[in-house]
A and B are shown apart, each in its own frame.
Chain A
Amino acid sequence: MAQHRTRLVVDFCVRALCLLATLLALLPLVSVLGYVVVRGAGGLSWAFLTELPKPLGEAGGGMANAIQGTLRLVLIAALLAIPAGVLSGVYLAEFKHTRFAKLARFCADVMSGIPSITVGLFVYGLVVTATRHFSALAGGLSLGFLMLPSVARTTEEFVKLVPESLREAALGLGASAWRTTLWVLLRTAAPGIAVGIMLAVARVAGETAPLLFTAFNNRFWSESVNEPTASLPVAIYTYAVSPYDEWHRQAWAAALVLILVVLLLNLSARLVVGRKVRL
């Protein structure tokens, strides 16, 4: 009997410890979000969203160029990674047993684990040394490379989830195989793929390391994709490591903007999953 009680006590303790670990892990999340909201709200204003940075020493100014830059970089990345990722995902799902699909799937998995900074180095060697200047194009390219494997893998997963009966119905009606894939399978899987894309965008929107030596930074508007461009993550980094209080305030405000975008994407992706996609 005593032994039975010990076992129950051990069971209770382990379960309590596991719960404790979960709560402990959420502490930093609460703290980060709390500080970003409280400190960031102070620096956030209309001017912050619409004006260029002021020279050091002058109060005010904003980060409109960094916001524009981040939008531009993410747009370039998305234009590159979404078509390529979706199509390669379709290949991985439709020809999943071929040896080449296995290789490509494996490479995608490995690629999603390599450090983002090495992708920056790669694009530096590929684009920046060739064109001899930093550019939004190079930055967007490196973000696109980071997006590609995750878009491909989520597309694959969701295409595989489409019931076989839908494919059979389409083929039975006389559709050719490729039309069935594009018009039936891909359309059915679209909400899930959209979720994957949103999460991938949320992830690359906050990437800093690969931008340091591809998109670089810019205190002004960048006129074209061939110029160095500012971005929110790089701006947060430069302002946070500076010794000026005013810049720290702006870094918190920029962090608030960035976090809001990322959270919004994550939450809406979550809602779409809850509503439309049956997993």
Chain B
Amino acid sequence: MNDMTNKWIGQRTIRPDGADKVTGRAQYSADVNMPGMMWGKVLRSPHAHARIRGIDTSKAEALPGVKAIVTAKDIVEFPVDKSVMLGIQDMRWMCRNVMAREKALFHGHPVAAVAAISEEVAAAACALIEVDYEVLPHVIEIEDAIKPDAPILHEWNKHEGKSSNITGTMVLKTGDVEAGFKDADVIVERSFTTRPVHQGYIEPHSCTVSYAADGRVTIWSSSQGQFMVRAMTSLLTGIPQSNIRAIPAEIGGGFGGKTIIYLEPVAVMLSKKSGRPVKMVMTRDEVQRATGPAPGSMSTVKIGAKKDGTIVAAQATFYVQAGGLPGAPLRGPVGCSLSAYAIPNVLSVGYEVVSNRSKVAAYRAPGGPHGAFAAESVLDEIAEKLGLDPLDLRIRNSAKPGDKALYGPTFGQVTFKETIEAIKAHPHYKAPLDRNPRPGVKRGRGVASGFWYNAGGESSVQVNITEDGNVVVTTGHPDIGGSRASISNVVAELLGVEHSRVNVIIGDTMTIGFSNLTGGSRVTFASAMVATASTEKVIGQLKERAAKIWNIDAEAVKWEDGMALPAGDNAGKFPPLSLKELAAKANEMGGPIGTQVQLNTTGADPGFATHVVDVEVDVDLGIIRVLRYTAAQDVGRALHPGYVEGQIQGGVVQGIGWALSEEYLYDKNGKVDNATFLDYRMPVCSDVPMIDAVMLEIPNPKHPQGVRGVGEAPIVPPLAAIANAVYDALGKRFSALPMSPPRVTERLEQP
């Protein structure tokens, strides 16, 4: 049922959300309005670090038009000594992140919230709230936070017996690194830093909440998981999940940053207290100051190899920022940076570091790019020292099926080598490079690879046949990367009907079974698998109906091209029954046709990617531009190639921004100084070339269509690939990102 002759799978069908988005009809969460609705606004800490001694809301409450005020005492408290996990989030930290409790931990940390008759009144009321702060010394950067005399954010946290900002460690180990390095002919050890970067979704966080008099709550919000919204809101407000209907709005970008909530529990409590619906919409400034960026990192990677390029040992240490509260993605760098390689002796250690910045959130392969930047830069240097082609070095050391991965499991299929060979054979890698096209301009080429775990997990898909013989599919995952288009291709293919007859929608928490977050490169993998199971059940029902009409056994009926047919001559001679005909007879022949399947899916093998990039450096101005970029990735099966390319291109562009221009700037008081898209420099279209996405379709044997997650692996290699290309151009290695013009200029003046 899955090959290159498919009619719909693998086609660039019209995207189901396209017309709504280009005509402005798409309902984002800020588009939801209700009669009698109030506006909610958050009062945020003006200090990077301060003890909250008291909050006086009396003046704000007295302001005409103010309907409710919420502070930490309205949010369920989870004591710091007992972990309560929901997915990757610990509710101890979530309850303190949505509303500061003992301390304000970063500039922008919510301290109180107001619901009022207008945004202006709510803002005026926020200004009337008096917070008694004891301002404390603050610390922003990792290197400062781990100093012995650093201001401590959480006094209760101990590391090696002392109060510390190191709030977590992770160690992965195999073999004996000491012994391994003794066997090495060449050893390279380097240290690197990366800066926190924001996911940069265009749509700010927002929600509209209605708490009805009977205690039932409806939430319209933009998130990567309506079930996550329901569960976290339930935990933070004490309202049972069965009373919360979380309706996913169309989402304007998430990239991991909407796998967490900020506003919903606050809006619920404002709505509960005011008895009115409440709408909250963050400004860009709030998004940049108070929502999760990816962490910054400080890392050291040491790799030893034999003369022939065989890697014998690797040691890595990663310090990863968490922001003001714990929750750094240590498993990204610790587990991913070396996992694509078969290395006998590895020690990979990660430390989580808190400091006075907003709590980090997931961002596309969380922690993966940080680790790969370090490891893939060191590999480039090893290849250079050994006189090997950097791609050959990677091929030689690629993990193989049956190898035990550093992070635990045994690899099934490993398609790393195929991605490297695809780049090696690509015209880009072979194209001549004019290294000095004009005076003051230098060009270089670099490569790097990347690894990401991928995931399966819970998914629910309902397939219903309408009375007129068309198809409605409901899934439980917000669509951030083309899942609706992919699912409609799969269902149309399996049912053998025109694609235009299949409509895919996203259900809310009361209309579809539990479905896990859209994240971890899991949704197309999981929901295509469950949609397949659900559709196959429906096909079974259709065959039963035909059998009943023909009065033969259901086994004697086959389904082909959207029609039931007798399976063979023995079954008897009957004219085919189409989906429309069977639908028309549905009720007299046994009732409505449709089913829901809910599964915890498995079999999501890891993703591999290899990239090559050409850069050009304007030496006098220190400006680096990406001239050409080719990204090869094993995508399993591209259910909708346009979206798969989009995932690869989007990941690469975000990686380019990370490498060259994006960073948070703080002033001396610990306040974010560039909380706008003007000064937080994500690339614009004219900054990047068209990214050439090479999709290798090596079917994942554990998936009905061969799907492999694709969303995250593409952001893993770019940081190192670009740094390696810049080295090729300038002969200088960059160990600190971003390679912004002032930094490049400064580096060029160093030896």
- To the question of whether A and B form a pair in one complex, the answer is no
